[in-house]
Amino acid sequence: MVRPTFPHASAILSEPAAFLFFNPQHSAFALLRRDKPRNLRLQMKLLVIGSGGREHALVWKLAQSPHVTQLWCAPGNAGIQQERTEKTGKPVECVNIGAEDLPKLLAVAQEKKIELTVVGPDNPLALGIVDLFQKNDLRIWGPNQKAAQFESSKVFSQDFMEKYGIPTAKSGTFSEPAAAKKFAGLLGGKCAVKADGLALGKGVLICASVAEANKAIDEILVSKAFGAAGAKIVIQEFLEGMEISLHALCDGKTAKLFPTSQDHKRALDGDKGLNTGGMGTYCPTPFLGETALAETGRKILEPFTRGCAAEGIDFRGILYPGIIVTRSGPKVLEFNARFGDPETQVYLTRLENDLVELLDASVNGTLDRVELKWSPMASVCVVMASGGYPGGYAKGKPILGLAEAAKLPNTKVFHAGTAKNGNEIVTNGGRVLGVTAWAKDLKSAQSAAYTAVEKICFEGVQFRRDIAAKALS
């Protein structure tokens, strides 16, 4: 585990930062290019659900919209609490309700007369928060429970991809260990063994030999390591190549593809160490050019949309396919049904559209009238995590240097696991901050992000020093 001395320093920081004093969110250029509001209420109250860096980025971007008068977040974090809506200057209010407490979330949305609820994480979607709010005549953005199965069931997703010809890994679905082992044997043991259901991001076991694959199959199907989530498994051939994230905003008929981004899932530099929720991202990546991205988007999104129509699935929200660019072309590993974290941090620092207008169009089914606009800047997010993460870690460590980092231009420190303790902001989770900077090119953005990282410290802090390095080597 990386535990830099306190206060820390990093080799990459020696480079001079090149800043552009141009903020895409506030420039006249961006305002001129913004889509015209369509029938949108100019006095909207919004509720965002979740408490991570993704939700801070969503709140930050939504708070810039002239449509928003007041914003709540459940449960939020210390950084979200510091945001204000640009239109009214009202502070964002955090309400202490967990993202999975559906009855209380419904009650607060009714009490505050929320006009649009925006769901960040996967669990409330899988629990059917969208269906519940819709039954109660409340507008909510995100896929309903049936559509959220693209993330909540790997068997559902894999069957769908095969049925509708979406490029994916060779795979099989099993509930019997003997048949699963036979299939893994045919792949020479080089495979990914995946529990069907949500397993706190731990349900995927990557195997390099028949012995490893047999052990993984027994762990899930026989020892029930993931309980009911592992009643069935998907076994995929192991795909080699560069892994990248795609996102597409969908409205049930139309899907609008984002630029590519890349997460860094392992805890340590050089993609070593344990898998985490994500230690840093950058956008765009050089691994799919404009034409290849458009082609990949078409190969995934056309059959996706056709398949949804045929199966009666109304997918309104973000479809986030994880893909590997193999020698024989890009292949989908998995679908998520929400914004990635920390992909959101780099996407929303480049997005020039009004996010309320986009989410509204996604709910309304009018995305065909919208054009996504991205700033020409590159964006880099470096996650600062608690020592020990993704294993056990201490909480309550004071975070120093946030005010210094906030003075840097074209930089935003998104909070994830943070809390207020009196006047102090302290650590309160594994991933603590997503330090994000944008600049004219990737190298400058990387340098700016690490300049900000250097200003911040807390006891035990760990972060990767090679975010975006793959794109620059």
Q: Which region, judged by CB under 6 A, interacts with ligand AMP, from 27-35, 210-218, 233-241, 368-376?
A: 233-241
Sign of CA dihedral 210, 212, 215, 221: negative
Rounded Cα distance between 251 and 317, Å, is 7
Rounded Cα distance between 234 and 239, Å, is 14
Q: In Å, how far are 18, 78, 81 from 425, measured between CA atoms?
A: 29, 7, 11
Rounded Cα distance between 178 and 238, Å, is 20
Rounded Cα distance between 301 and 30, Å, is 28
CB of 150 to ligand GLY, least distance (A): 13
Task: Decide: is 1 part of the binding site for ligand AMP (CB under 6 A).
Answer: no
Task: Decide: is 53 part of the binding site for ligand GLY (CB under 6 A).
Answer: no
**Binder of ligand AMP out of 334, 352, 357, 466 (CB under 6 A):** 334
Point out which residues pair with 437 in neighbouring strands: 380, 411
Q: Which region, judged by CB under 6 A, interacts with ligand AMP, from 231-239, 290-298, 371-379, 449-457?
A: 231-239
**Binder of ligand GLY out of 278, 429, 430, 460 (CB under 6 A):** 278
Q: CB under 5 to 8 A by kind: which of ligand AMP, ligand GLY, none does 252 bind?
A: none
Q: CB under 5 to 8 A by kind: which of ligand GLY, ligand AMP, none does 350 bind?
A: none
Q: Which two tokens stand for residue 193?
A: 């063994």
Per-residue mark of binding to ligand AMP, 22-41 (x: CB under 6 A): --------------------
Position closest to ligand GLY via CB? 340
CB of 336 to ligand GLY, least distance (A): 6
- The DSSP bridge pattern shows strands 248-251 and 255-257 to be antiparallel
**Binder of ligand AMP out of 80, 99, 239, 325 (CB under 6 A):** 239
Q: Which region, judged by CB under 6 A, interacts with ligand AMP, from 45-53, 125-133, 219-227, 232-240?
A: 232-240
Q: Residue 221, SS3?
A: helix
CB of 75 to ligand AMP, least distance (A): 25
Per-residue mark of binding to ligand GLY, 304-343 (x: CB under 6 A): --------------------------------x---xx-x
Residues 6+ apart with CB under 8 A from 11: 465
Rounded Cα distance between 392 and 377, Å, is 37
Three-class SS of 15-33: CCCCCCCCCCCCCHHHHHH
Rounded Cα distance between 147 and 258, Å, is 20
Q: CB under 5 to 8 A by kind: which of ligand AMP, ligand GLY, none does 397 bind?
A: none
Task: Decide: is 237 part of the binding site for ligand GLY (CB under 6 A).
Answer: no
CB of 65 to ligand AMP, least distance (A): 32
Task: Decide: is 192 part of the binding site for ligand AMP (CB under 6 A).
Answer: yes
Peptide bond just before 398 cis, omega within 30 deg:
no
Task: Decide: is 181 part of the binding site for ligand AMP (CB under 6 A).
Answer: no
Task: Decide: is 390 part of the binding site for ligand GLY (CB under 6 A).
Answer: no
Q: CB under 5 to 8 A by kind: which of ligand GLY, ligand AMP, none does 343 bind?
A: ligand GLY
End-to-end CA, the chain? 24
CB of 340 to ligand GLY, least distance (A): 4
Q: Which two tokens stand for residue 37?
A: 């509001």
**Binder of ligand AMP out of 22, 164, 238, 374 (CB under 6 A):** 238
The residue whose two tokens read 């072309």 is 329
Q: Which is nearer to ligand GLY, 334 or 454 (CB)?
A: 334
CB of 439 to ligand GLY, least distance (A): 22
CB 348 within 8 A of CB 256: no
Helices 154-164 and 290-311 cross at an angle (nearest 10°) of 100
Q: CB under 5 to 8 A by kind: which of ligand AMP, ligand GLY, none does 340 bind?
A: ligand GLY
Task: Decide: is 333 part of the binding site for ligand AMP (CB under 6 A).
Answer: yes
Q: In Å, how far are 74, 115, 400, 455 from 404, measured between CA atoms?
A: 28, 36, 9, 6
CB of 401 to ligand AMP, least distance (A): 31
Q: Which is nearer to ligand GLY, 213 or 324 (CB)?
A: 324
Helices 210-217 and 177-186 cross at an angle (nearest 10°) of 160
Residue-wise burial string across 337-363, b where 16 or more C-beta atoms lie within 10 A, e elsewhere: bbbbbbbbbbbbbbbbbbbbbbbbbbb
**Binder of ligand AMP out of 15, 243, 314, 441 (CB under 6 A):** 243
CB 216 within 8 A of CB 193: yes
Task: Decide: is 263 part of the binding site for ligand GLY (CB under 6 A).
Answer: yes
Residues binding ligand GLY (CB under 6 A): 263, 278, 336, 340-341, 343
Residues binding ligand AMP (CB under 6 A): 169, 192, 194, 204, 206, 236, 238-239, 243, 265, 322, 333-334
